[in-house]
Chains A and B, each alone.
Chain A
Amino acid sequence: MTTNRREFLKIAGVSTLSLIAPAIVCPAWAKEKIIPVSNFPEALSPSKALTAKRWAMAIDASKCPADCVDCIAACHATHNVPDFGNLKDEVKWIWREDFPHIFPEVNHSYLPKIARARRPIVLCNQCANPPCVRVCPTKATFQRQDGIVMIDYHRCIGCRLCMAACPYGARSMNYRDPRPFITRINPDYPTRTKGVVEKCNFCEERLAKGLGPACVLACKEKALVFGDMENPQSEIRLLLEKRFNLLRRASLGTKPQIYYIV
């Protein structure tokens, strides 16, 4: 595992450089780490995997164009998220939401109109202290060493206690078989079956192959920054150091790991 960390620190170092040199804004690892996925198992070799002590994401909502859904489309296509076309059965991992609904504690009528009109994206907060993990009666939802909150779709019994426990509405239930409602199935990622709960997994299956999250790579505006919060030199840490940012409902003590730059 030491090689992993060294590898990551190397990457982090490069991305730090990219911040210092203002000409290169783009996260360097995102460029460099895109490798062909075809040649298994080499692509899976542990040295290529992206690892961290605590994965997190920063979202610069001011960069999100009004009607852009690139990150959503990329995520949902990658993970075979179905589109049922109705609100009742709806399954979503990442979506856009009105600023006042995301930050009810911050919102008031005299915030700049431009801020209130924003529709940042929301997704699973990958909480460091996740209530969903605490309440799951089968450990189907669990937290990895690197902070990612996972759902083991093999084990989920569909009791939906985690949906009640999530203060962010990040989870969706498969109220019916999702397969007929997936426009084009991505063969590299499984679908879900009816009766299980699903949500964003921070692209853990891509991290294992050395790829960054699909949403981050899909964003042309570079509004999403992904990285290790425990590494003070990581791009995300340096960015959050410079820019004022908010967490969703921080007062609940769930320690969300999605940081909103406002």
Chain B
Amino acid sequence: MKIYNGGKIVAGIVIFIIVVTFPFWYGKGKPSPPPQLSLDTPAIAQLQDKRCVEDVNFMRANHMKLLDAWRDESVREGKRLYTAKDGRTFEKSLSGACLKCHSNKEQFCDRCHNYLAAKPSCFSCHNIPGEVKK
């Protein structure tokens, strides 16, 4: 079997593979340490039981889903109160609940989002309490 333009095709495949795998070998050997998230805020310091709405593992994995559900339920169904698994109730509010404790958005939310290059658009509308009061 004869391949027409074999040289060009092989060169093309090689360039393609190099480009596609570039991020892998470029970052090889340079582990990027996960960010240290700060829980050092006055509101959290005052809490006796240092527990978020749900437990840490759940929040870490599912906070975006939880917020999505909160968003739809409070805006579209008018259900503004969330009852956690342990029976405590919270207002479904990003600025009014989450950021009340996590008032250090830059050291908490942003650090991890930046690390993962996640760009949630929440804060193009929702206020960051510390920022707007000035």
Contact = CB atoms under 8 A, between A and B. Distances in A.
Interface of A: 40-41, 44-46, 142, 144, 150, 152-154, 177, 179, 185-193, 204, 208
Interface stretch (B38-46, B70-78, B101-109): B70-78
B95 A150 contact: no
Contacts of B127: 185, 187, 189-191
Interface in B68-104: 71, 75-76, 78, 80-81, 89-91, 93, 95-97
A45 B121 CA distance: 29
Contact of A152 (B75, B80, B89, B133): B75
A150 B125 CA distance: 17
B19 interface: no
Contacts, number: 48
B91 A44 contact: yes
B125 A208 contact: no
B66 to A, nearest CB: 15
A242 B97 CA distance: 45
Contacts of A45: 81
Contacts of B90: 41
Interface of B: 71, 75-76, 78, 80-81, 89-91, 93, 95-97, 121, 124-127, 129, 132-133
B122 to A, nearest CB: 9
Given A46-B81, A185-B132, A208-B78, A40 B124 contact: no
Given A152-B76, A185-B132, 19 more contacts: A40-B91, A40-B93, A40-B97, A41-B89, A44-B80, A44-B81, A44-B91, A150-B76, A152-B75, A154-B71, A177-B124, A179-B124, A187-B132, A188-B95, A188-B96, A189-B127, A190-B95, A190-B125, A208-B78
B87 to A, nearest CB: 13
Nearest to A41: B91
B125 A193 contact: yes
6 contacts: A152-B75, A154-B75, A187-B95, A187-B127, A187-B129, A187-B132
Ranked 3 nearest A-B pairs via Cβ: A185-B132, A193-B124, A190-B125
Q: Which of A186, A187, A188 has the most CB of B within 10 A?
A: A187
Contacts of B95: 187-188, 190
Contacts of B126: 190
B134 to A, nearest CB: 10
A150 B75 CA distance: 8
A153 B124 CA distance: 11
Nearest to A209: B80
A179 B76 CA distance: 24
Contacts of B78: 144, 204, 208
A185 B132 CA distance: 6
Contacts of A179: 124
Contacts of B129: 187
A189 B129 CA distance: 11
Nearest to B75: A152
Nearest to B124: A193
